[in-house]
Structure 1
């Protein structure tokens, strides 16, 4: 278990950060996801029928091009910087800077709250993209739907007597770790919003700087 935690450390922290940012801004703005683009599609749909959670049409629409901008910036850094590990570090540090700007804007009360959220959207776009561009960063941290579905499959198989192969058990364990990290992040983000507001984004900023500056590719995974 401890060996798995160490080997999935990057993804665990990123899952925590993803949940933290989404929960904090969803509560703070009353209905906006900074990392879960699918969630904003749902909220836009609610807005079409006049539901109160669909009231941030402009912001929800802006998340799409800005998330894509963040993903594009990650792709540019990977194309321009060699080796890949250095590009990954630069991408993570740049995302941390975007989170830091978000927190500083809130602390100094510069501009609207929406500006803080939009910087966070760009950062989440970068993090989601770099996880795809550098497989050595670890397993997907943002695919919570897939992780939970995988756990449901594994649990059902156990109930009907199916014996998992070692690699299947390892995959299930990874999913458990990532889901726990994401849920813990959501709880921490909600607590931070209630206590310090958007200034709480300084915590994921610090975590990203640590990953970026001390990034160590996970063994056994080669860049595609």
Structure 2
């Protein structure tokens, strides 16, 4: 029972962090998605067609950065006994992103390139989280960085519940799990939008610290 409860909490935390980071970088770092990296292809194509951004090509760099991060996450998993070690390093990377943002601002060198560096490093952190989700799928109730699959499953579950009622215990439980992931991500997106608009990339410290605390808790339990 305790393990199942932990899965609910971890799922909620990871989805909120993914939504938060994805939206913070989109709002405060030239419309770059840090979690939904394939979304950057759409933004890139749009900006090229509009001719509105000479640096639109930089968004394509999120893809190799993401791939590299997933590979690194796999290596970490091979060398670690604790599954949550990947999340610890994700937290460290996000904390460094937040610190770098404040340092760049303090030194008054927070140029466009400095923003891209922080954004790409955040993409790396999200790549680590994706690696965790793929390697240790049973630690969460579903993907925590991409919601399309979760929405699809929730829709199927809802259809079953409409047909069979709440007596369909499996569909009801699955629907609740998907709601946690979807609502967690949505909450993170809202918080990230506010943080990105009013406080900038330095607020990446918050999810970084949350991830480190999550690791410490699971290390001691």
Q: If the TM-score is normalised by the length of the shorter chain, which range does it land in?
A: 0.7 to 0.9
Q: In 2, Cα distance between the equivalents of 1:165 and 1:29?
A: 45
Aligned to 1:128: 130
Conserved 8 A contact 2:62-2:123 = yes
Aligned to 2:194: 191
Q: Is residue 62 of structure 1 aligned with residue 61 of structure 2?
A: yes
Q: Is residue 108 of structure 1 aligned with residue 110 of structure 2?
A: no
Aligned to 1:221: none
Aligned to 1:99: 94
Q: Is residue 8 of structure 1 aligned with residue 14 of structure 2?
A: no
Q: In 2, Cα distance between the equivalents of 1:159 and 1:166?
A: 13
Q: In 1, Cα distance between the equivalents of 2:5 and 2:197?
A: 30
Deviations 1:89-142 (A, max 9, x none): 221111111111111111111651111111100000001111111234212212
Aligned to 1:151: 154
In 2 relative to 1, CA 79–200 (structure 1 residues): closer, same or farther, beyond 3 Å? same
In 2 relative to 1, CA 156–28 (structure 1 residues): closer, same or farther, beyond 3 Å? same
Conserved 8 A contact 2:12-2:184 = yes
Conserved 8 A contact 1:33-1:39 = yes
Q: In 2, Cα distance between the equivalents of 1:92 and 1:153?
A: 31
Q: Is residue 33 of structure 1 aligned with residue 33 of structure 2?
A: yes
In 2 relative to 1, CA 90–7 (structure 1 residues): closer, same or farther, beyond 3 Å? closer
Q: What is the aligned length? A: 212
In 2 relative to 1, CA 79–7 (structure 1 residues): closer, same or farther, beyond 3 Å? closer
- Residue 6 of structure 1: CA displacement? 4.8
Q: In 2, Cα distance between the equivalents of 1:164 and 1:142?
A: 31
